Structure 1
Amino acid sequence: MTVKLRLGAVLASGALVLLTACGTDDNSGLPGAVDFSVEGLRCGPGGTLLASGSSAQANAMEVWVNTYQANCEDSQINYKPTGSGAGVQEFLQGTTAFAGSDSLLTESEIDESRGVCRDGGRAMHLPMVAGPIAVAYNLPGVDDLVLDATTLARIFDSDIRRWNDPAIAELNPDADLPAIPITPFHRSDGSGTTDNFTSYLHASAPDAWPYEPDKAWRGKGGQSADGSSGLVGMVQQNEGAISYFELSYAHQNEIDTVAIDTGASEPVRATVENSSNAIAQADIVGEEGDLALELDYATREEGVYPIVLVTYEIACDRGNDPATLGLTRAFLAYTAGEDGQRALREIDYAPISDDIIQRVRDRIDAMD
């Protein structure tokens, strides 16, 4: 069935069932021209599906939920973007069919999942959506800025304090860098975005960034704001500011972003294509069919953007609740399918690479 709907029409009709909530990686605001048309979408059994977790994937979930429901009228999918930690806890408590998480489950959380997944099942990671984390800045007169990992680490650790610092000037010989203070902004709340950004700094510049990656900020100095939207506001309002947030925020708010000197022949920009290239290089490190990924944050490959966030759907490999198994499997099959992955490019997310997403599809088909 083909249903031609756009975001405004769906909102007006009340068909939107993505439940908004406060989360660690709030991401909101879709372009008005998002089209929910899909031809031949395979619907599962009707009913209601509850899920929660990562709010970094909220825009993707909004498109996926509305597309699925527009084509499968007997189904209602409620996804609450409460943040990765809260979503995982709700899944482990058995109150949701699956969870979205920007970080891998711990061993203890996987062990705990055996009490929720029946018949000897356990939680598995299904990488479903990726997104470039842009480094955004407010520097009038400088609309093309290159930085490397060491310089970024020193900036965010308050070691480099002015924009005309020799380390920045060396990377930008043609730029007219002003002698104004740098104001780095980081997340005040625990965040998967912070976890991934600091993973990049620690892997690529361990001497300049000795702190272990964490959802909580570990660097010295700087200022903070709540959520990605809070960081956007701080960058917009403060000349000399620099911060990090999902690429969609930078594009929606027309904020300049940094090109990263990774050691490749050309600096790499934060784009969907360059982020997809990073996912293609990832190694699958999960065991027993689990699809947890390990990213190469220190890559020097051409056209590979190194600061990428992957969101996993966390579900039981077997022993799912029989009452929701069919709908869970059908909805996740759509999100991992060609139509679901194609929709990501239109809203600044990066689809999962072909070889990995095919394994995701196989794991979804095998869910019982």
Structure 2
Amino acid sequence: MKLQRTNRLSAVALGALAACGALVLSACGSDNNSGGSGGENTKAASKIKCDGEGKLLASGSSAQKNAMDVWTQTYQSACGNTQLNYKPTGSGAGIQEFLQGKTAFAGSDSALKPDEVAQSKKVCKGGQGINLPMVGGPVAVTYNVSGVDDLVLNADVLGKIFDSKITKWNDPEIKKLNPDAKLPGTKIQAFHRSDESGTTDNFTKYLNTAAPAAWKHEPAKAWAGKGGQGADGSSGIATNVKQNDGAIGYVELSYATGNDLNTVKLDTGASAPVEATTDNASKAISEAKVVGKGKDLALDLNYKTKADGAYPIVLATYEVTCDKGNKKESLKATKSFLKYTASEDGQKALSDKGYAPIPDEIIGKVRTTVDSLS
């Protein structure tokens, strides 16, 4: 099914983006989507309580880039004394910069590992790094196969495709799931992230959990599958899938809609194949459990759900910061910005960009934790 792009950038916005680049988000919008309507942004901005000033530096997850674009645009319109710069360098790079003390917070699509928590205590004086789930959403499996605009796959077949065990689009296992499709004998070009990515971590957690016989590699931010072609960032995968007949890849839904890419429906064992939508992702995320200790709110996602309408390839993007020991010069601005992103208005702004707001029970805990940062 071809997803329709919403909220297209105007030609003026595209020109401005090309001119200024995408890294300094206080000045530029997303390469895929811009913020919401002026009226909505103005209304949301009027509720923001600004605090702090100067530069607020952050980096990490490219999965949340489009969310950060919207949030930054709204926040900056209210809080001109703070210059927010979020660099979508990928989860792995973002965590490393945070652990090196270069940023106030990091965006990561997977929670801190025990060794990273231990390292964070050197940066967070008297405290440690914690995970604050702020953005949810589906990881869409995108494809470009001539003559095919409705495709159903399951975890087992996806595992074999991305591990180079299924190499042609007319393979019997794909045909079995798509009896009415005219599948060509085109060679499959499977694209994966070349950089360390929380999106890869979540995608491979899904494969390893839902189809362990087909995907025997341990989940990780670094790609471990056999064969395939690497691409830098979600935008790199989206571009390569769009340009190559026979291609398949995995990206956050906003990159699929923003590039008018077809997405796979998943046969999860539910009564009908499940499409990658924010509503369907929300049904899966609602089954998540908080497994972090203390102020840490790391989640355990249910990748094996078979509930009707629940799309299981989901991720939760965390803002990683210190519970105690945040840098004095950026603490006030960090809390002010994260209070906005966790607010009702901040979460509401996500839906139009292909993201799923964090469930109420969990985001309520995030708000309480942000208030307590020191």
Supply the distance in 2 between the matched residues of 1:367 and 1:33 (Cα, whole angstroms): 29
Residue 194 (structure 1) shift: 1.6
Q: Which residue does 2:117 correspond to in 1? A: 110
Alignment of 1:9-48 (within 5 A): 19=23, 28-31=31-34, 35=38, 36-37=41-42, 38=44, 39-48=46-55
By how many angstroms is 1:124 displaced?
0.8
Q: Of the candidates 82, 88, 100, which is equivalent to residue 81 of structure 1?
A: 88
Q: Residue 171 and residue 76 in structure 1: after superposition, are their counterparts in 2 closer, same or farther (change >3 A)?
A: same
CA deviations on 1:205-263 (whole Å, 9 max, x unpaired) are: 00011111122222222333333223223222322221111211211221111000111
* 1:172 maps to which of 169, 175, 178: 178
Does structure 2 conserve the Cα–Cα contact (< 8 Å) formed by 1:17 and 1:66? no
Alignment-derived partner of residue 75 in structure 2: 68
**One-letter amino acid of the counterpart of residue 31, structure 2:** S
Query: Could you say which residue in structure 1 is the equivalent of 2:319?
Result: 313
The answer to whether structure 1 residue 56 and structure 2 residue 38 are counterparts is no
Answer yes or no: is 1:287 the counterpart of 2:298: no
Q: Per-residue displacement from partner, 1:251-276 (whole Å, max 9, x unpaired)?
A: 12211110001111111111111112
Q: Is the 8 A contact 1:18 1:77 kept in 2?
A: no
CA drift of 1:134 comes to: 0.9
Alignment of structure 1 residues 170-249 onto 2, 5 Å: 170-249=176-255
Give the conservation status (yes or no) of the 8 Å contact 1:191–1:215.
Answer: yes
Structure 2 distance, partners of 1:184, 1:53, is 24
2:281 maps to what in 1?
275
Deviation at 1:34?
5.1
Instruction: Tell me which moved more, 312-321 or 264-273.
Output: 312-321
Flag the 1:186–1:170 CA change in 2: closer, same or farther, 3 A: same
Q: Counterparts of 1:192 and 1:260 in 2: how far apart (Å)? A: 21
Shift of 1:140: 2.2
Provide, for residues 173-216 of structure 1, a one-character-per-residue CA deviation record: whole Å limited to 9, x for no partner: 22222233322222233222222111111100000111111222
Distance of 1:19 and 1:283 partners within structure 2: 33
Q: Helix, strand or coil for the counterpart of 2:338? A: helix
Partner of 1:301: 307
Give the counterpart letter for 2:23 in structure 1. L
The SS at the match of 1:114 is: helix
Q: Is the 8 A contact 1:342 1:351 kept in 2?
A: yes
User: Equivalent residue of 2:266, what SS?
Assistant: strand
Deviation at 1:87, TM superposition (A): 2.0
Structure 2 counterpart of 1:3: none
Question: Does the alignment pair 1:331 with 2:316?
Answer: no
Q: Does the Cα contact within 8 Å between 1:128 and 1:310 map onto a contact in 2?
A: yes
1:98-133 per-residue CA deviation (whole Å, 9 max, x = no partner) reads 111122212122122222223x21111000112311
Distance 1:329 1:194, change over 3 A: same
The alignment of Structure 1 onto Structure 2 pairs a total of residues equal to: 355
- 1:361 alignment partner, one of 349, 364, 367: 367
When the two structures are superposed, what TM-score results if normalisation uses the length of structure 1?
Answer: 0.89
**Shift in alpha-carbon separation, 1:285–1:278, aligned structure 2, 3 A:** same
1:148 is matched with which residue? 154
184 and 45 in structure 1: CA distance in 2 versus 1, 3 angstrom threshold: closer
TM-aligned CA distance change 1:43 to 1:264, over 3 Å? same
In the alignment, which of 253, 265, 269 is matched to residue 271 of structure 2? 265
Instruction: Render the CA deviation track for 1:68-117: whole Å, top value 9, x for unaligned.
Output: 11012222222222222222222222232211112221212212222222
Distance 1:53 1:236, change over 3 A: closer
- Can you give the 5+ residue segments of structure 1 that lack an aligned partner in the other structure? 1-5, 22-26
After superposition, the Cα gap between the structure-2 partners of 1:11 and 1:145, relative to the gap in structure 1 and judged at 3 Å, is: closer
Question: 214-223 vs 240-249, which deviates more?
Answer: 214-223
Asked if 2 retains the 8 angstrom alpha-carbon contact of 1:184 and 1:241, the reply is yes
SS in 2 for 1:184: strand
Q: Is the 8 A contact 2:192 2:231 kept in 1?
A: yes
SS of structure 2 residue aligned to 1:61: helix
Which range is displaced more, 263-272 or 56-65?
56-65
For residues 233 and 21 of structure 2, the distance between their equivalents in structure 1, rounded to whole angstroms, comes to: 22
Please tell me whether residue 253 in structure 1 is matched to residue 256 in structure 2.
no
